[in-house]
Amino acid sequence: MRILGIETSCDETAAAVVEDGSKIISNVIASSSEMHIKTGGIIPESAARQQIKFVIPVISKALENEKVDAIAVTVGPGLIGSLLVGVETAKTLSMLWEKPIIPVNHLVAHIYANWVNDTPEFPALALVVSGGHTDLVLMKGHGKITWIGGTRDDAAGEAFDKCARLLGLPYPGGPSVSKEAGLFRKNNPKQNLNLFPRPMIDEDNFDLSFSGLKTAVRRGVEGKKVDTSEICANVEEAIVDCLVDKSIKAIKKLKPKSFLLAGGVAANLRLREKFKDELSANNLQVEFHVPEAKLCTDNAVSIASYAHFNHKPVSWEKVTANPELTITS
Ligand code: KG4
Ligand code: ZN
């Protein structure tokens, strides 16, 4: 079965055709992030206008001469103006082509990038780390998701973005901080990276907190001449340590067969490296899966893949955008 995925929840306009949830036929992404560099972050109204501009050309390019059996579209969470563009376009196509439409939760879809050319085994523990969410969930099967823990305040991506902004680095903050951090580590391989706190790390739960990091960074740099790349390496290490520590604790307790990393922050090289190191240092017999970097950030392949494995079509009249969706709703 071939599914057309449509993703417009934030500042990426994406469409993809995926066969049987695993084989990419086409994958097209137009991003308005260049425009947001100038403003240092996303202005929802501008993002929505860009979605309108890109949505038809992106879908046309993804389809070329392909025929699809169903349409999958992100209904939330995200920015309402951006979401509506994808949702209303998908509904129109569903009605005209008389094809089923499958509403998709963007956060759960991130996890499904791990099904591209792969078949993770259940039960699986998944860590979804994006710009607006940080959730640890247990998947006993497709559609069987239990929330285990997550951030109590800022998301991991948000922490990267806020710290980058404070340091005068370009949007999106994750890749900018990570680039600087990599340079610092390369030149100072033995340096301790403990400048900033790791909140909640000793608590006996799977929760996280990142809102204090920005304040700690501000205090660390205010009125001082600092080495930006050193601060970046410390920011990255603090975020990575918290994410890895709580996930390893959850793996030890829940003993899943696989561990799935997902969401924009999963593109982070240090995070990927530290997970591999710690899983082997703790001798944990769990299969580690992480999508290739371009399928970690927003894309429509994961939307179509989710829809294949959670094939629950509804009539197009019933599909509505919901900016407040959570990973278990
Ligand atoms: O999943 P995503 O593309 O969009 C949302 O659903 O939010 O995630 C975007 C987030 C941003 O906060 C961005 O700074 C972060 O992912 N990000 C990274 C990296 N690439 C993207 N964070 C750290 N390292 C990266 N290489
Ligand atoms: Zn996302």
What residues flank ion ligand 2 with Cβ within 5 A? 130, 298
The pLDDT, as a whole number, for residue 203 is 95
Q: What is the pLDDT of residues 170-195, one digit of tens each?
A: 989 999 999 999 999 999 999 999 99
pLDDT range class, residue 58, cuts 50, 70, 90: very high
Ligand 1 atom, smallest distance to 106 CA: 6
Dist. CA 135 → ligand 2 center (Å): 12
Structure tokens at 227: 């080495």
The pLDDT, as a whole number, for residue 38 is 78
- Helix spans in the chain (H): 33-39, 44-63, 80-97, 106-112, 156-166, 173-187, 211-221, 228-254, 269-281, 301-309
State whether residue 32 is helix, strand or coil: coil
Q: Whose CA is nearest to atom 6 of ligand 1?
A: 130
Nearest in space to 176 (alpha carbons), one of 163, 189, 185: 163
d(CA 226, CA 230): 8
The pLDDT, as a whole number, for residue 236 is 98
Dist. CA 182 → ligand 2 center (Å): 24
pLDDT range class, residue 169, cuts 50, 70, 90: very high
The pLDDT, as a whole number, for residue 36 is 77
Residues 316-322 have a mean pLDDT of: 97
Q: Which ligand is nearest to the CA of 155?
A: 1
**Residue 47 CB burial class (10 angstroms; 0-12, 13-18, ≥19):** buried
Question: In the sheet where 287-289 sits, what is the strand order?
Answer: 144-150, 134-141, 124-129, 258-262, 287-289
Residues 58-80 have a mean pLDDT of: 96
Ligand 1 atom, smallest distance to 172 CA: 14
Q: Which ligand is nearest to the CA of 154?
A: 1
Per-residue pLDDT at 41 exceeds 80: no
Dist. CA 106 → ligand 2 center (Å): 6
Per the CB < 8 A criterion, the answer to whether 270 and 304 are in contact is no
**Residues in the ligand 1 pocket, defined by CB under 6 Å:** 10, 130-132, 157, 160-161, 172-175, 178, 263-265, 267-268, 297-298
Q: Whose CA is nearest to atom 22 of ligand 1?
A: 174
pLDDT range class, residue 306, cuts 50, 70, 90: very high
Dist. CA 148 → ligand 2 center (Å): 19
Dist. CA 233 → ligand 2 center (Å): 24
**pTM listed for this prediction:** 0.96
Dist. CA 297 → ligand 2 center (Å): 6
The pLDDT, as a whole number, for residue 35 is 81
Pocket test for ligand 1, best of 82, 243, 297, 325 (most atoms within 8 A of CB): 297
Ligand 1 atom, smallest distance to 297 CA: 3
Q: Which ligand is nearest to the CA of 265?
A: 1
Sequence-separated (6 or more) residues with CB below 8 Å from residue 249: 206
Dist. CA 277 → ligand 1 center (Å): 22
Mean pLDDT for all residues in the chain: 96
Pocket test for ligand 1, best of 133, 158, 160, 165 (most atoms within 8 A of CB): 160
Dist. CA 133 → ligand 2 center (Å): 9
